[in-house]
Amino acid sequence: MHDDARKMLRRPPHWKAGALSLVLMWGMAGCDQSSAPSTGEQREETAPMQNETASSVQGNVTTETQETPEPLSEPVSMTVTTELTESRRLEVTGRTNLPEEARLEVLLERHASGVNWQIRTQVRDGGFVVGPLGPGSGLVGGRYVIRVRMPVADVQPNAVKARIGERGEHLKGPLVARSPHGLGNIVEFSSDYLFDG
């Protein structure tokens, strides 16, 4: 072998090292490109997430525009009718402009003895029906009084209180009276009933 040929064998093949480093750089660049999305791709991926966040924030927004009920402005009105059942007891039906769900007490009292029967109810669809009132053996002949009373605002549901006032100050008319305990206005209605049995 000639000396020139030996020198070539000993020399490192620089062109191979250069080509190898180029291949490695392309490979690394390829890895970088596949792992890191381009700017356009990144926008596409994050856009739905931003939309979800915006929609969830909008979904949690609560509107505090709850309407305040109008105060009762008309005078309190009430009409009562009665029906005698087969067992000689009374069913009482009433119509009123008091607010829905206003709590009422309906009482039937015998004049002669002062004995009474009482039922609690609430206004539904502008009225109420209670009964039968009276003893299990049936009413005996005589005079009775039917009383319908709406207690003070403190015992009424919040929706009713909002319409009649904290102390019943929005209640007006001849059926309105002052509470005997000084707790505001109440409603009292009474009607005579004669049973000639």
The rounded distance, in Å, linking the Cα atoms of 83 and 117 is 16
Report d(CA 114, CA 144) in Å as an integer.
9
On whether the CB atoms of residues 144 and 190 are closer than 8 A, the answer is: no
Count of structural domains, the chain: 2
Q: 81 has which bridge partners?
A: 93
pTM, 2 dp: 0.63
The whole-number pLDDT of residue 2 equals: 53
- 69 assigned to some structural domain: no
pLDDT at 183: 86
Same domain, 18 and 53: yes
Q: Is residue 70 part of a domain?
A: no
Higher pLDDT, 117 or 18: 117
pLDDT tens across 7-48, in order?
554 555 554 555 445 444 544 545 454 444 444 444 444 444
Q: 84 in a domain, yes or no?
A: yes
Per-residue pLDDT, averaged over 142-148, amounts to 95
Cα 89 to Cα 108: distance, rounded to the nearest angstrom = 10
Same domain, 13 and 92: no
- Spatial contact of 82 and 90, defined as CB atoms under 8 Å apart: yes
* 32-91 pLDDT, tens digit each: 544 444 444 444 444 444 444 444 444 454 444 557 778 888 999 999 999 999 999 999
**Shared-domain flag, residues 122 and 153:** yes
In this structure, what CATH number is given to the domain that contains residue 168?
Answer: 2.60.40.10
* Three-state secondary structure call for residue 26: helix
Is residue 98 pLDDT above 90, yes or no? yes
pLDDT the model gives residue 68: 73
Domain that holds residue 103: 78-195
